[in-house]
Structure 1
Amino acid sequence: MAANAGSADPRLEGVFAAVPREAFLGPGPWTVVAGNGKVETPSADPVHIYQNVLVALDADKGINNGEPFLHAIWIGKVAPKPGEIVTHVGAGTGYYTALLAQLISPGGAVIAFELEPSLADRAIKNLEAYDGVTVIHGDAVISGLPPSDIIYVNAGVAAPPAKWLKALKPGGRMIFPWRPSERVGLAVMVTRTEQGLACDPFMRSWFIPCIGASLASSATKIPNREKAARSRSIWLTADKAPDHTATAVIGDVWFSSRSTGPS
């Protein structure tokens, strides 16, 4: 899994080995999602969930503990460092929050938002033993985010809210599932540089919608997958009006095929 992530950080394998996934899933047997179907594990033996499978947290709402391979890639890409501040949007029961907390220790902090009250309660209990973690039962779209070195989003958005982009510190990284339309699902890495917000759509990705940020109701330009994948920077319309390079214009945010730098 660590090798698949392509990360240069040798700690990544260690934190996946150290944090027990089963502690965040509730008692087994568990419902795992494999392919297009769901199946209950034959027993409560944790071996069944140490595979690259989704595990249902709230089956009725389609909320799962995500695939470890995907999160290994994402965590490797945002490259958490000791002392950094991470905001985790859509923390679920806290498993990947715990991994992030290990990687920013010592001296760092993780602020984890979870909208579902039952999951937030479980995350609070599950993360009691992890230093520097604060779980907030609340709406990250409405409340906005604290200044962050990393924003790790686990719910699909039509476009990242302007408040989130503004919360990125210099050199800060945000990774999120971009769902500008029903047929387009991409994982996107945003990095705040001196020239602006660089954008890298780097893999396909499908997450449940982020309530309050998943509908492109005020969009004036929705991309197909090909155009979305050509995006190389993100801008606030208040700072710069969309131009001929725009691949998507959604609310007060637009995506450009031009890299950051002088026009």
Structure 2
Amino acid sequence: MPTRIDASEARRWFAEDLRVSSPVLHNLAVIEAFAKVPRDQYLGDGPWRIHSRLQIGAVHTSPSTALHEIYHDVLVSVDEQRGLNSGLPSLWALAFDHLNMAPGQTVLQVGAGVGYFTAILAELTGSEGRVIAYEIDEELARRAQSNLAHYAHVEVISGDATQAVDLPNLDVVVAFAGVTHVPERWLSNLSDKGRMALPFTGEDQRGFMMLLERAGCAFPVRSLMPCGFYPCSGAILAAFEAGYWFPSGQNPL
């Protein structure tokens, strides 16, 4: 990609690359959302700290402050000392594709971060939908609230999503932090044919992205991909301690 490029062109190039690399095969609205949302406005001004795709944990500074530097399928650090990142676009493009979100739906996001992927969810649900985004870190929650103020149908809550109260009927639950079990209050509010994408991870923060689909009283699940995630506070206890539900009836790890 050339070094000088219009921001909208960079986003389109980025989105079309995700169409192939993720891949996105079912819901092309995902591609349009990535092409529309300005990643740079959520991550702040460059240069940015970018993770190598080939060396896990190796971080380098972007060569310049040009916007195209972050319109690639890379992790970008939000808080390097704590290991907090904005998220790998291809992973979330694939997960969103399988969640098959549509305008008018209600989504619970666990871990809004700075709000970039919340904005993608907002585009997928449309103004007639609703996105309830929890962020447990107060500073990140404030950043997300500011970044997302232009979306009237997005609510960013500073707090623990595992303790959420008065949740509405949910079409989609998507967690941006690793869990060892499904909190009952997320499951009990999931609509029939509702879906969840949850990173199931162990002590080493590695695991798999689980797709759960509700079908009446049944909850068929499958793995979408291997993944690694920062742990989700409130959803990393053993099942017998927490009293929460596992898809298989036991700890999947």
Cα distance in 2 between the residues matched to 1:109 and 1:56 = 28
Residue in 2 that maps onto 1:131: 152
> Match for 1:218: what amino acid?
F
Secondary structure of the residue aligned to 2:228 is: coil
C-alpha RMSD over aligned residues: 1.8
**Structure 2 residue aligned with 1:93:** 114
Q: Which has the higher strand share?
A: 1
Look up the SS of the partner of 1:208 in the other structure. Answer: coil
TM-score (norm 1): 0.81
- What letter is aligned with 2:83? G
* Residue 218 (structure 1) aligns with: 240
Q: Which amino acid aligns with 2:19?
A: A
Unpaired runs of 5+ residues, structure 1, are: 220-249, 258-263
Instruction: Please say which of residues 6-15 and 198-207 is displaced more in the overlay.
Output: 6-15
Quote the Cα distance in structure 1 between the aligned partners of 2:92 and 2:122.
14
Q: CA deviation at 1:217?
A: 6.8
Large movers: runs of 4+ above 3 Å:
180-184
Equivalent of 1:255 in 240, 247, 251? 247
In structure 1, the residue matched to 2:48 is: 30
Cα distance in structure 2, aligned partners of 1:5 and 1:111: 26
CA distance in 2 between counterparts of 1:160 and 1:137 reads 20
The change in CA–CA distance for 1:60 and 1:83 in structure 2 (over 3 A counts) is same
Closer, same or farther: CA 202–27 of 1 in aligned 2, 3 Å: same
Equivalent residue for 1:66, pick from 87, 93, 105? 87
Q: Give the equivalent residue in structure 2 for 1:75.
A: 96
C-alpha separation in 1, matches of 2:205 and 2:79 = 24
Q: Give 5+ residue unaligned stretches, structure 2.
A: 1-17
Return the alpha-carbon distance in structure 2 between the equivalents of residues 38 and 133 of structure 1: 32
Task: Show the counterpart of 1:2.
Answer: 19
**What letter corresponds to residue 207 of structure 1 in structure 2?**
F
Give the SS at the match of 2:247: strand
Match of 2:37 in 1: 19
Once the two structures are overlaid, the 10-residue window that deviates more, 81-90 or 193-202, is: 193-202
Judged with a 3 Å threshold, the aligned counterparts in structure 2 of structure 1 residues 208 and 168 are, in CA distance, closer, same or farther, namely same
Gap change, CA 1:218 and 1:181, over 3 Å in 2:
farther
Tell me the residue number matched to 1:173. 195
Amino acid at match of 2:122: A
Count of residues paired in the alignment? 227
Relative to structure 1, the CA distance from residue 210 to residue 131 in structure 2 (aligned partners, 3 Å threshold; closer, same or farther) is same
Contact residue 57 and residue 64 of structure 1 kept, 8 A: yes
CA distance in 2, matches of 1:98, 1:69: 16
Q: Deviations over 1:72-92 (max 9, x none)?
A: 001101011010001110010
Partner residue in 1 for 2:3:
none
Q: Which residue of 2 aligns with 1:231?
A: none
**Distance in 1 (alpha carbons) for counterparts of 2:205 and 2:176:** 18
Q: Is 1:117 equivalent to 2:138 in the alignment? A: yes
Q: Match of 1:98, SS?
A: helix
| Contact 1:159-1:180 at 8 Å conserved across structures | no
CA distance change for structure 1 residues 154 and 162 in 2, over 3 Å: closer, same or farther?
Answer: same
Q: CA deviation at 1:184?
A: 5.3
TM score, norm. by length of structure 2? 0.84
Aligned equivalents of 2:184 and 2:157: distance in 1?
20
